[in-house]
Structure 1
Amino acid sequence: MIQIFGNNAGSKLAAPITNSQTTLTVTAGDGAKFPSPAAGQYFTLTAVDQGSGLIIEIMWCTAVSGDTLTVQRAKEGTIAHAYAFGDPVANLWTAGSAANLAQNPSDKLGSVSAVQTYAGNPNGHVAGNAAVVGTSAPSLVWDTTDQIFWVCIGTGTTSTAIWLASTVSNGATYCGIATGTANAIVLTPAVPVTPGAGTALAFVVATTNTGATTINVSGTGAIAVRKPSPTGPIPLTGGELVAGNMVSVRNDGTYYQLTATELGTAALADASSNTGKVAAVVGAGSITPGHLAVFSDNQGSIQDGGLPGAAAAPTYLNATFNGQVLGSGIYAPDPSTAAGGAFTVKVPAVPSNGQVLGFKDNKLNWGTPNSFTLDGNGNTFSSPLGSATTLTCNQRGLEFYAEWDSANNTWELS
């Protein structure tokens, strides 16, 4: 309860009272001198036995009606007694009044003790209290469980104080892992959210969506989710919200719009159009001019300065060289870019001293299944790593030279 005070408020009993009586009457007209408590408020009333001056009781007055006062007896360690006609009663300063102020330093906003810390929010969402039963709550508390501030907007004790959760303006409320279904998401943040234009939410997707999707936060009702497009927000089609990804949405007043997400399969599955969507080209056909396209490794081509067209038929560059003997200074041709492009060439059987042959993979195609084999034609290839009569060149981008050493009758590799 909240304590209130009056200045020079005092009177005498207009009638005797027993030690259990909870209403008393003061001298006619004196009721107006005392404060008038509202619900949840009180002021202290001290009664004295004027005969001896030794019997003193502190009461709490919770209501004043004319000259009749409603009281709670025997407060602050005093004992209830009977009092006679004419015994004085007054609203006096007590030790309990001073203790109440000392226990609520957070009411002094701006001081170092302006914020009190509690484990759990103050209105019962989780375990923890923001006030001791029978005393008034502080003005501002820090909730160590939900990591937010609570502002007291209705004074009272633990059970009667009214609190408002203070959140960061324009900040996203973290809602944890979504529940509900893939296309009807339910979010339950620690602090209930009332959605409106600008409300931002962040959550972890539990199940990948398969079509149009709604979000229901804090039981406020389902609101459709939209994603950006060149023509404005459009419904989800499936695959935009992938299980395990963190997603952010913001309310535009009508829908929740996706603002941050790891793109799902829907980002790759949009049909080809002239509005900038991306489509995968399948087969050997072409796509409509003006569209964007993604080509697989062996389908489609894009000509410089032109429109996308059908993939050109592969050319087997090695057809005329396969199995042939190279002459001096000849570079081996590149193998085909298609499967089955492996080929073999032979070096001269009787080379001249100092003859040099060069080999280079200009198009970066050497490798299975397009390997290039060099046949020594009866002679040996030598290098610091060893010697062999044939070389299999299956490393992309490879370039090397073979020089005939007539003294040792071998091709020296470099």
Structure 2
Amino acid sequence: MPDSKFMERFHKDIDPIRKTEWRSEYSRDLARIIHGAAFRRLQGKTQVMGTGEGDFHRTRLTHSMEVAQIGLGLFEGVEKGNLKEHVSDSLQPYLATAHPVISSACYAHDLGHPPFGHGGEQALHEKMKESGGFEGNAQTVRILTRLEKYHRDKGINPTRRTLLSVLKYPANFSEYPSAAQRDGHPPKCFYHSELELINWAIEPFSEQDRKLFRSLLNGKPRHMTFDASVMECADDIAYCTHDLEDIIARDIVKKDVLLGELGAYFRENGPIEIDGKRLDMDNFTPLFEDSYARKKSIGEIVNVLITSVYLKEYEDFEHPLLRYRLAINKRIEPFTDFLKKKITYGLVVSKPAVKMLERKGQRIITSLFDEYKQAPEQLIPNWNSLQPGESTNRRICDYIAGMTDTFAEKIFHRMFTPGVGSSKDEL
């Protein structure tokens, strides 16, 4: 079976195959992710808007569920031959076992994100930039391989293929120039502490494939596996469309402002036409009608984006899991970039009211980190059992990164707000 090497686990002795087990190793990975504490905590972590601002908008958990649905829809297009590109015979055996792997990648892709969104990520990286850095995707790898409480200090002990499916950026933090490491925005990477596991995961590839897979272009990683590419496309589609729906439903951006920006884009770039489908202002004006019209409009936009995805071949690779990847049509990319950068970031994330909340979240994380560092063994429950072989900074970072927004705020007020807190509080 071509896939057998990728079903192996790093720690073989702790994961024997059960005599009554009929699930695949990949299905076992998926179950461990869904039943894990890190996955549940996503319900309390910021997507674009804070978790305490209402019940309608997405959290990291609902976003991950939508990414999984879109990802499986994309995979179905490949599996059933709905894409125009011919699926190579060499890829077919890997498609037969891909369903639970892609589900795992989509459900797990945001596990490593800390409380308070990207602002929280920057705050933790600022504290960790001299101690191995902090980056959300790298933390996801760390959760699956070390932190999730399934096996002590070994995470869910994932299979090679599941581990590679969440590895969006196969670059070691220590490989980046010092300027990139120290910049306010963390470099896209995995941590040096997981290097041995990453090297193990890519062992089945040829030496040439391993070298190319780990190579950088203009100082940035550029390759991922087929499974990771499905997750990446699904994440991009969900992020730029569903966040738009939340923004409108919450009335965060006024109708004339948003339609003005969209109108300017289509006047400059023209409508998007792909395979008989058209995306223009007619798709967006119903967003400001009733909720039924808005949902139908979002569905049409998502459908155009999904059907724009194609199977791209990278001929320099030998192995089919690296040679073939999904990609969003080049004619769509400028528009998805516009939605993410001009609409979500330009009109929402950069608003003073939102920036204030972001800064507050950063202040909470920074204050907690500094206080914990004074006496971690006194302030952090079960300190001695938390990755004892790691540095104090990394162990504190792991603890804070695993918090929900609400829990981080609660601990902050318990520590620093007079009159708040009790000796009976749950920690």
Bin for the TM-score computed over the shorter chain: under 0.3
Q: Which has the higher strand share?
A: 1
TM-score normalised to the size of structure 1? 0.15
Larger radius of gyration: 1
More helix by share: 2
